[in-house]
């Protein structure tokens, strides 16, 4: 063996207790859903279409089908395929799978990570919160004892910390608020960009330290694949929630939009924005749009297993619960 090979560190970035903790967690999750008669499914990680969201970058892959070369995409989520199963009569389903987001690396990110995603026909978001709480008590009970999350709206999270209502704030007010808290970045007329800047630097890091937090009622522009509704003040909000523990976003849930016409409009608007930003214009998933008419009303959630492991094992970096992160894989 050459000296060069001897110098290469081949070992995983996590330790054996973390590998064992992952195996136990997978077993817990599968038992949890088996007891609730939620069916485990598997769908392809490569697809002819992918998300149009301008904030998500899909990894491209070329493959041959029937002798012809196609440009396809590694999934950022199994959502589109799972909704086709829901529309085909699957009933409640879940999946543990690999997902991919290009160039996302850091303390809380890796471009390849593990997702737990599940869908509950005829569940409200409140019913889904209760089920998530049960899962947290199973997977985090050894660290925290009983887990009792609180519910906080996106609007009130901003108002408590910044005295600013993000649903009503003008571009000028958002810019002034950023300057006041030391975030002096010029994002032009990107109103949502300023909201996200304030959220990621001021609001998010403070969430979920006393207890887990379900953050609800996002601005309607952040609806993505969720329905839009009115909050208690009559303001339009997205029917979705995110779960935070110790400043870490663990999960994202929607009251799922089933109107194909509205969803097509959102996809097309995203692609127009992508064109403006010189990003790849993404092919729209026509299979998903065709399936929506037959999809039952449902709530769905995507939960990051690697981050859940970080919380369960008291790790500060994602690489401490991964075997081989992107830089050594």
Residue 154 CA, chain-centre distance (Å), reads 16
pLDDT for position 259: 96
Encode pLDDT of 13-49 as tens digits. Answer: 999 999 999 999 999 999 999 999 999 999 999 999 9
pLDDT band of residue 7 (cuts 50, 70, 90) is confident
What's the average model confidence in pLDDT over 252-260?
Answer: 96
Q: What is the mean pLDDT of residues 179-185?
A: 92
pLDDT at 3: 60
pLDDT for residue 88: 98
What mean pLDDT is predicted for residues 245-253? 97
User: Confidence class of residue 183 from pLDDT cuts 50, 70 and 90?
Assistant: very high
Please name each of the domains of the chain with its CATH number.
3-148+280-328 (3.30.930.10)
Q: What is the pLDDT of residues 263-273, one digit of tens each?
A: 999 999 999 99
């Amino acid at each position: 063996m050459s000296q060069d090979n001897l110098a290469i560190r081949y070992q995983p970035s996590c330790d054996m207790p973390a590998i064992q903790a992952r195996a136990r967690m997978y077993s817990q999750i599968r038992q949890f859903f088996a007891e609730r008669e939620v069916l485990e499914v598997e769908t392809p990680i490569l697809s002819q279409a992918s998300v149009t969201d301008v904030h998500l970058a899909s990894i491209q892959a070329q493959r041959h089908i029937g002798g012809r070369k196609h440009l396809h995409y590694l999934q950022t989520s199994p959502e589109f395929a799972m909704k086709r199963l829901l529309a085909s009569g699957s009933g409640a389903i879940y999946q543990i799978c690999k997902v991919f987001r290009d160039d996302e690396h850091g303390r809380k990110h890796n471009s390849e990570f593990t997702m737990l995603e599940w869908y509950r026909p005829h569940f409200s978001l409140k019913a889904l919160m209760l089920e998530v709480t049960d899962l947290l008590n199973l997977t985090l009970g050894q660290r925290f004892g009983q887990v009792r999350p609180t519910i906080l709206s996106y609007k009130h999270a901003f108002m408590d910390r910044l005295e600013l209502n993000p649903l009503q704030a003008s571009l000028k007010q958002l810019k002034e608020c950023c300057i006041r808290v030391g975030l002096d970045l010029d994002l032009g007329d990107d109103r949502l960009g300023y909201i996200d800047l304030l959220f990621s630097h001021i609001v998010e890091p403070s969430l979920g330290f006393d207890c887990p937090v379900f953050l609800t009622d996002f601005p309607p522009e952040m609806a993505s694949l969720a329905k839009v509704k009115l909050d208690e003040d009559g303001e339009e909000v997205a029917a979705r929630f995110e779960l935070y523990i110790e400043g870490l976003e663990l999960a994202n849930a929607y009251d799922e939009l089933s109107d194909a016409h509205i969803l097509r409009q959102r996809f097309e608007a995203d692609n127009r924005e992508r064109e403006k930003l010189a990003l790849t214009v993404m092919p729209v998933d026509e299979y998903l749009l065709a399936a929506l008419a037959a999809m039952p009303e449902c709530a769905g959630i995507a939960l990051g297993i690697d981050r859940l492991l970080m919380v369960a094992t008291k790790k500060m970096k994602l690489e401490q619960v991964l075997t081989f992160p992107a830089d050594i894989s």
